[in-house]
Structure 1
Amino acid sequence: MFYAIAYWVRPLFTNRFTEKYFVPALTVKFIGAIGLGIIYQYYYGGGRPSGDTFNYYNQSKVIYEAFDYSFKAGLKLLLANGELDIDTHNFASKISWYHSPTEYFIIKLAAFFGLLCFQTYTVIGLFFALVSFSGMWAMYRTFLKLFPHLYKEFAIAVFFLPSVFFWGSGLLKDSITIGALGWLFYGFYATFIQKKKLLLSGLLTFVAAYVIYSVKIYILLSFLPPALFWVFIENNNKIKNVAIRNLTKPVFLLIGLAGAYIGATRLTEGDRRYDLDKITQTSQINTIYLTEQVKTGSAYNIGIFDGSISSLLKVGPQAVIVALYRPFLWEVRNPVMLLSAIEASIFIFLTLRFFFKTGFFKTLKLISSKPILTFCFLFSIVFAFGVGTNSGNFGTLVRYKIPLMPFYLSALYIMQSYTKRPKKLVRLLKTA
């Protein structure tokens, strides 16, 4: 049924260059969703610490069973936000994450999909893969609006990185957040850069931002400042008069920074983990706990970020490096780490090759002169700093960092395109 729908809608969202990637990209998402369940069942033994795929599934079964008992009780649980009443109390007491909004959001979504497939784990995973794929295809189409001749390169960056389609496809938070991030990127570009179909694109932006806010707010916090800075650069570049453009640049910059700060503080106000007054303490707790408690050989320690300038200068570069380029091949302790290490090695190779080929200062100039490159690298660095300081071990890091990977690799491919000078004219591809 999923493939029938895919072949039916493919002509609506592809052209003659991209249609060949549509079904293969969906297929690897399905492989990732099924593979995730197999790995957790047979490699990890069906049981891992809280937060894993089977915990979401088992707790979503409670909602499914509630529908068997009473449609009213099941519907209340599906729409609940921690409330208790006589209809839901007996069922809610069996859901350990009932009062945890982020986890319960995923449980409710899994339960909804479960109603469509008799609560079958694998099919629920395929639904999550489908949601993820829809957002990532939107991300892919957004990149193509800017560089239509890089359809092959963007397909690799967005769909075919093993860590991304494995951890970003099954019954986990990561599938929903990376899909929502793709829709956010698509909607933001259409609303604030293209300024087209404002009502629809604005609605997409709001819904995607709300989903990320509900599940992993730190992704939104990482996206917001670079995105607003992107808007500033685009609008500033449209000013034809050089003198006026230079005069207004500081104003746009201040507005962008102020907007990013207000957005970040309002989004996290009162949040027990991500309020700006508490985020440093949270970072310290996470780092200490993970580096001291994980005994599998996959832990790393870059120090503790305490919010000071000195700790930022000390920990920041290490956090970015560990998120983008580690684990190194000699740090591999298990098959999952090997996969991540191979991808990190590819990132190192492509990055160093471009810097050596083009030159350090020319590369920085190219990044600063192209708004999309500025956005991609700023988002990647900000996000890498966040997950690098809060993970503490490579096992969690490989999952946490997947939102930045398509953007970082896409940026590398974009820079490469400026040095290759493709023979085919871009304008011909735009007419495809």
Structure 2
Amino acid sequence: MIAFLIHIPFLFLLSWLLYRRSVGQPLLPFFWWGLPAKFLAGIGIGCLYLYYYPYQGDTFAYFEDAVRLASFARQNPWKYVNALFFSESGAESFLSTLPLWEQPRAFFMVKLVSILCLFTLSNYWLCGLYLSLFCFYALWKLANLLANLFPASRISAAIAFLLLPSVVFWSAGLTKESIAVACIACIVSQFIQYKFAAALPGKLPSLLSWLLFPIYVLLLWKLKYYYLAALLPAMLAYLLTDFLAKHGLRDKSIGLKAGTLVCIFAAILLVASFLHPGLHLSQFLDSLVTNHDLTVQVSAPESIIYFHGLKATPGSVAEHLPKALFSGLYRPLAWEANSLFQLYIGLENAGLLILSLVVIIYRIKHFTTLSPTFSLLAVAAFLYSVLLAALLALSSPNFGALSRYKVAFMPFFAYLLLSAVLAGKTGRRT
């Protein structure tokens, strides 16, 4: 109770300060819609695993280990600091008693949550609220940057990043996704501020932002490295193509420029596969199929996306890629739901599918009305989205897990669709 009496007023104060700091932003009317929804989602995540699912899930596993680690910190602060930053901490005898100690990525999350536990007196709900606030504000900044850059897409940005139910819910609370999505938003925000400084007066990244940038990259790599493995190539491919579009390809069609971006993106992924053993094609495919098989083994039959005969070969993966892409973007659909919770997700996915059809049939030329710089940005966002969608569906063919993991790309994909449908011209010509 003492923790709530201290931190609830503090959270309200932080929220009010962030609101005051946002005065003048194009999406200000949506602040008090998006933030309470995020807070409720953070509480809802805990309630979902506490009362709805028959197991408590990762969120409580992280918290339980974090509470013990925070208790250890109060008794041995120096050893705790060593444990946070160094593998040889001198506390291995204690750390080895924690269930998640032998899972490096899960234990990294435990370390992060233990810091919050020290701050919140080891209160699960308060930890979740602080992470929800962090994720909301990161998405809030990105949505406002896009609304400033593309004024006609103001409503699209608000819906996609602040109000889309699956994004609001699955990137909240004490979850890896709340931190990972916040890091993605911060990385993309700084990228946009740097690349479009001329179109965003007064929006140059601050010194603090540059200092925090490698921290966001490190956090994302430690928590969800495959998100970063898709995001950085898309950003780099965009920068290289945009440079060529303003020089050697200046007079070429937007179709050729977009094709160049796709080729550069593929080349970067190919080169990256030789830079790290875990990214080598054979090793990558082995890991992908292994994760697929393990997910199938522990999932209920009615909650699985079936990829019959999937093998760790390029040919087999390519054969299943179209189904994986569709599943990653749009499944489960409403008629595939076997629970009320899946029905809600299915209705949202059905809405996205309808939007996609509208864009393909009626609005695909919208993207050619933008300047090449902005059209290529849309292509890069699309490549990032479809790559993650396909790979996540193949490696985690469980409807519940897929609905959670896809929040890494869903705001960008939904934003592309909504901006094409709702806006006439969403870009400034440069």
TM-score range, shorter chain: 0.7 to 0.9
Query: Which residue does 1:430 correspond to in 2?
Result: none
Query: Which residue does 1:67 correspond to in 2?
Result: 73
Residue 24 (str. 1) matches residue 26 (str. 2): no
* TM-score (norm. length: structure 1): 0.85
Instruction: State the one-letter code of the partner of 2:239.
Output: V
**Pick from 154, 162, 165: which aligns with 2:165?**
162
- In structure 1, runs of 5+ residues without a counterpart are 428-432
* TM-score (norm. length: structure 2): 0.85
- Give the Cα–Cα distance (whole angstroms) in 2 for the partners of residues 287 and 244 of structure 1: 42
Deviation at 1:314, TM superposition (A): 1.7
Equivalent position SS for 2:338: coil
Residue 91 (str. 1) matches residue 94 (str. 2): yes
Per the alignment, do residues 242 and 176 of structure 1 end up closer, same or farther by CA in structure 2, a change over 3 Å counting? closer
Sequence identity (%): 24
Query: Which residue does 2:418 correspond to in 1?
Result: 413
Q: Deviations over 1:113-143 (max 9, x none)?
A: 1111110010011121122123212321332
Query: Which residue does 2:7 correspond to in 1?
Result: none
Q: Deviations over 1:48-84 (max 9, x none)?
A: 4xxx10100000011121133232333333x244435
- Give the Cα–Cα distance (whole angstroms) in 1 for the partners of residues 390 and 54 of structure 2: 32
Per the alignment, do residues 396 and 368 of structure 1 end up closer, same or farther by CA in structure 2, a change over 3 Å counting? farther
Instruction: State the one-letter code of the partner of 1:102.
Output: R
Higher relative contact order (CA 8 A, sep 6+): 2
- Give the Cα–Cα distance (whole angstroms) in 2 for the partners of residues 183 and 200 of structure 1: 12
- Give the Cα–Cα distance (whole angstroms) in 1 for the partners of residues 416 and 260 of structure 2: 27
Q: Deviations over 1:205-262 (max 9, x none)?
A: 422221111111100111122222221332233349845999x979988766555544
State the aligned residue count.
Answer: 411
- Give the Cα–Cα distance (whole angstroms) in 2 for the partners of residues 278 and 309 of structure 1: 12
**Pick from 194, 216, 219: which aligns with 2:227?**
219
Per the alignment, do residues 389 and 364 of structure 1 end up closer, same or farther by CA in structure 2, a change over 3 Å counting? farther
Per the alignment, do residues 252 and 172 of structure 1 end up closer, same or farther by CA in structure 2, a change over 3 Å counting? closer
8 Å CA contact retained: 2:288, 2:312: no
- Give the Cα–Cα distance (whole angstroms) in 2 for the partners of residues 304 and 202 of structure 1: 47
Q: Deviations over 1:126-172 (max 9, x none)?
A: 12112212321232133224212322221110011222121111111
8 Å CA contact retained: 2:234, 2:384: yes
Query: Which residue does 2:354 correspond to in 1?
Result: 349
Residue 390 (str. 1) matches residue 395 (str. 2): yes
Equivalent position SS for 2:152: helix
Q: Deviations over 1:11-63 (max 9, x none)?
A: 33342532222232221111111111111111124534xxx101000000111
8 Å CA contact retained: 1:81, 1:99: no
**Pick from 57, 60, 63: which aligns with 1:57?**
63
**Pick from 280, 285, 289: which aligns with 2:290?**
285
- Give the Cα–Cα distance (whole angstroms) in 2 for the partners of residues 289 and 256 of structure 1: 30
Equivalent position SS for 1:216: helix
Query: Which residue does 2:139 correspond to in 1?
Result: 136
Residue 112 (str. 1) matches residue 118 (str. 2): no
Query: Which residue does 2:128 correspond to in 1?
Result: 125
Instruction: State the one-letter code of the partner of 1:120.
Output: N
Deviation at 1:371, TM superposition (A): 1.6
**Pick from 7, 29, 50: which aligns with 2:16?**
7
Equivalent position SS for 2:132: helix
Instruction: State the one-letter code of the partner of 2:32.
Output: V
- Give the Cα–Cα distance (whole angstroms) in 2 for the partners of residues 364 and 7 of structure 1: 37
Instruction: State the one-letter code of the partner of 1:43.
Output: Y
8 Å CA contact retained: 2:274, 2:280: yes
- Give the Cα–Cα distance (whole angstroms) in 1 for the partners of residues 252 and 327 of structure 2: 42
- Give the Cα–Cα distance (whole angstroms) in 1 for the partners of residues 317 and 96 of structure 2: 43
Mean Cα deviation higher: 188-197 or 12-21: 188-197
Query: Which residue does 1:300 correspond to in 2?
Result: 305
**Pick from 82, 89, 98: which aligns with 1:76?**
82
Instruction: State the one-letter code of the partner of 1:67.
Output: A
Per the alignment, do residues 147 and 350 of structure 1 end up closer, same or farther by CA in structure 2, a change over 3 Å counting? same
- Give the Cα–Cα distance (whole angstroms) in 1 for the partners of residues 260 and 416 of structure 2: 27
Mean Cα deviation higher: 184-193 or 312-321: 184-193
Deviation at 1:93, TM superposition (A): 2.2
- Give the Cα–Cα distance (whole angstroms) in 2 for the partners of residues 242 and 280 of structure 1: 38
8 Å CA contact retained: 1:129, 1:169: yes
Deviation at 1:417, TM superposition (A): 4.6
Residue 189 (str. 1) matches residue 196 (str. 2): no
Equivalent position SS for 1:15: coil
- Give the Cα–Cα distance (whole angstroms) in 2 for the partners of residues 263 and 188 of structure 1: 21
Mean Cα deviation higher: 301-310 or 36-45: 301-310
Instruction: State the one-letter code of the partner of 1:3.
Output: F
Instruction: State the one-letter code of the partner of 1:31.
Output: L
**Pick from 324, 328, 335: which aligns with 2:333?**
328
Residue 39 (str. 1) matches residue 42 (str. 2): no
Per the alignment, do residues 83 and 375 of structure 1 end up closer, same or farther by CA in structure 2, a change over 3 Å counting? same
- In structure 2, runs of 5+ residues without a counterpart are 1-9, 199-203
- Give the Cα–Cα distance (whole angstroms) in 1 for the partners of residues 243 and 211 of structure 2: 22
